[in-house]
Amino acid sequence: MPQVFGSKELLEDVHQQELCIGCGACVELCPYFKNYRGKTSRLFPCTLPQGRCFAYCPKAEVDLDEIYRKLRNVPYDGSPIGPYRNIVAAKVGPKMASGSFQGGGTVSALVAHAIKSGAVDAAALTDREALTPQPRLVTRWEEVSRYAGAKFMAAPTLAGLNQAVRQGYKKLGVVGTPCQMLAVAQMRSNPLGKPEHHVPVALAVGLFCNWALDTRQLSALLCERTDIAAVRGMDIPPPPANVMILDTAGGRVEVSLSDIKPLIPHTCFICLDMTSELADLSVGMYEGRAGWNTLIIRSEEGARQVEEAVKAGFLQSESMPGEIIRHLSTAAAAKKERSLRMLIQRGLINTNGGRRAVVRIPQAVMGNILPGRA
């Protein structure tokens, strides 16, 4: 049984330490936690000694070995991209409704097909109102493309998932960042063991992520340079571009990464996962091949969904060159190493003497991630 506390401890460990990423996993479970313009706050005190808010939070007492064993049936070994079956190149197929996809539209195609085929009855996606990300629940496959495109801000998507559970949906889809996929994994493992807490996630599609931006600070910065209500899309091309590009009604606006990097929440610097290791499927950009994605197939259900989406003409896939997989693995290992160093430096990992930790991993795994450390 994982260490689970209540909302008092969640405030002490996560909110007061400025570790909250605003994922939304603690929102819409009770009347107390709300997310407003990217920030999650507790409105009223609650005295329960244990709660799903703490149990689902990806920044509070996460025992990675336990969650890997429960969900994947393997121990946590700190490998750069986590357990997987296959990695392929993918993009939308001819049957998929068009949209402003971030890359190849693989995520939208997979979700649309899962709804159309009945594998999923509602999917929690992320919309944007001006620059503020908003959770959206989608039940019609034709609507999925409307929410395509990455919003490079931390988003309360999982509030939408919690709402869908309350509304009684039985086969849920969800798309999110690695921290959100960790929260979804905790939901799926039902940490308090109560049947009424069952979260029926049928398909979890994770994104790659190195960092996100703070919504409020980004809005404050960009409203000096453009009409943020007129932003139609955003992109952060791979190096050496070094800019964020905004597609606005008035034209293209470029913002230097050196201006926006200070807006990355500190909690992203203690995040060990770049590729959504606990999702059924993980999707990122395919560097050097515009219009395509990198697709990591992890679970049996994920593999089935990809196969069926290809058969139905929603998705197309090709084999992935080994060189690209090695490059991805190097980038993911670098994030793990950086973040583990920061966790150790801040005393947030494997604490003892009754002190709570952000994350726990087996001591031996430290050596796998940090070369030279036993």
- The binder of ligand FAD chosen from 120, 148, 278, 369 (CB under 6 A): 148
**Residue showing tokens 């966790």:** 343
Residue 205: count other Cβ atoms within 10 Å of its Cβ: 26
Q: Which stretch binds ligand FAD (CB under 6 A): 49-57, 188-196, 202-210, 260-268?
A: 202-210
- The binder of ligand SF4 chosen from 4, 29, 55, 57 (CB under 6 A): 57
- The binder of ligand FAD chosen from 55, 89, 125, 253 (CB under 6 A): 125
- Least distance in Å: CB of 237 to ligand FAD? 11
Q: Which stretch binds ligand SF4 (CB under 6 A): 24-32, 138-146, 307-315, 346-354?
A: 24-32
- The binder of ligand FAD chosen from 33, 54, 56, 101 (CB under 6 A): 101
> Does the protein bind ligand SF4 through residue 358 (CB under 6 A)?
no
- The binder of ligand FAD chosen from 26, 64, 107, 260 (CB under 6 A): 107
- Least distance in Å: CB of 210 to ligand FAD? 4
Residue type at position 28: E
**Hey, what are 361's tokens?**
């991993």
**Residues in 107-166 that interact with ligand SF4 by CB under 6 A:** 154
Residue 71: count other Cβ atoms within 10 Å of its Cβ: 18
- Least distance in Å: CB of 367 to ligand FAD? 26
In the shown chain, the binding pattern of residues 36 to 55 toward ligand SF4, with x for contact by CB under 6 A and - for none, equals ----x---------------
> Does the protein bind ligand FAD through residue 293 (CB under 6 A)?
yes
144 φ, ψ to 5°? -60, -40
CB nearer to ligand SF4: pick between 157 and 248: 157
> Does the protein bind ligand SF4 through residue 349 (CB under 6 A)?
no
CB nearer to ligand SF4: pick between 54 and 314: 54
Q: Identify what 359 binds: ligand FAD, ligand SF4, none; CB under 5 to 8 Å per kind.
A: none
Q: Which stretch binds ligand FAD (CB under 6 A): 68-76, 208-216, 305-313, 339-347?
A: 208-216
Angle at alpha carbon of residue 63, lines to 57 and 67, rounded to 5°? 90
**Hey, what are 167's tokens?**
């509304």
Dihedral in degrees, nearest 10, Cα atoms 24, 6, 61, 64:
-60
Q: Which residues of 307-346 are buried (b: 16+ CB within 10 A; e: fewer)?
A: ebbbebebbbbeebeeebeeebbebbbebbbebbebbeee
CB nearer to ligand SF4: pick between 10 and 309: 10
Q: Which long-range contacts (CB under 8 A, 24 or more apart) does 76-80 make?
A: 76/361, 76/362, 76/365, 77/365, 77/368, 78/336, 78/361, 78/365, 78/366, 78/368, 78/369, 79/368, 80/274, 80/329, 80/330, 80/332, 80/333, 80/336
Please give the full DSSP string across 123-184, using - where no structure is assigned.
EEEEEEETTEEEEEEE-SGGGGGGG-S---B---HHHHHHHHHHTT-SSEEEEE-HHHHHHH
- Least distance in Å: CB of 346 to ligand SF4? 14
> Does the protein bind ligand SF4 through residue 343 (CB under 6 A)?
no
Could you tell me if 241 and 172 are in contact, meaning their C-beta atoms sit under 8 angstroms apart? Answer: no
Residue 83: how many CA atoms within 13 Å on its side-chain side?
Answer: 18
**Residues in 229-268 that interact with ligand SF4 by CB under 6 A:** 267-268
Measure CA 208 to chain center.
8
**Residues in 172-211 that interact with ligand SF4 by CB under 6 A:** 177-179, 209, 211
Could you tell me if 150 and 207 are in contact, meaning their C-beta atoms sit under 8 angstroms apart? Answer: yes
Classify the phi-psi angles of 255: left when phi > 0, otherwise alpha if psi is within -120 to 50, otherwise beta. Answer: beta
Classified as helix, coil or strand, 107 is helix
> Does the protein bind ligand FAD through residue 268 (CB under 6 A)?
no
- The binder of ligand FAD chosen from 108, 189, 299, 339 (CB under 6 A): 108
> Does the protein bind ligand FAD through residue 158 (CB under 6 A)?
no
The contact set with ligand SF4 (CB under 6 A) reads 10, 14, 20-26, 40, 56-59, 154, 177-179, 209, 211-212, 267-268, 271
The contact set with ligand FAD (CB under 6 A) reads 101-108, 125-126, 133, 147-153, 155, 157, 175-177, 207-210, 212, 283-285, 293
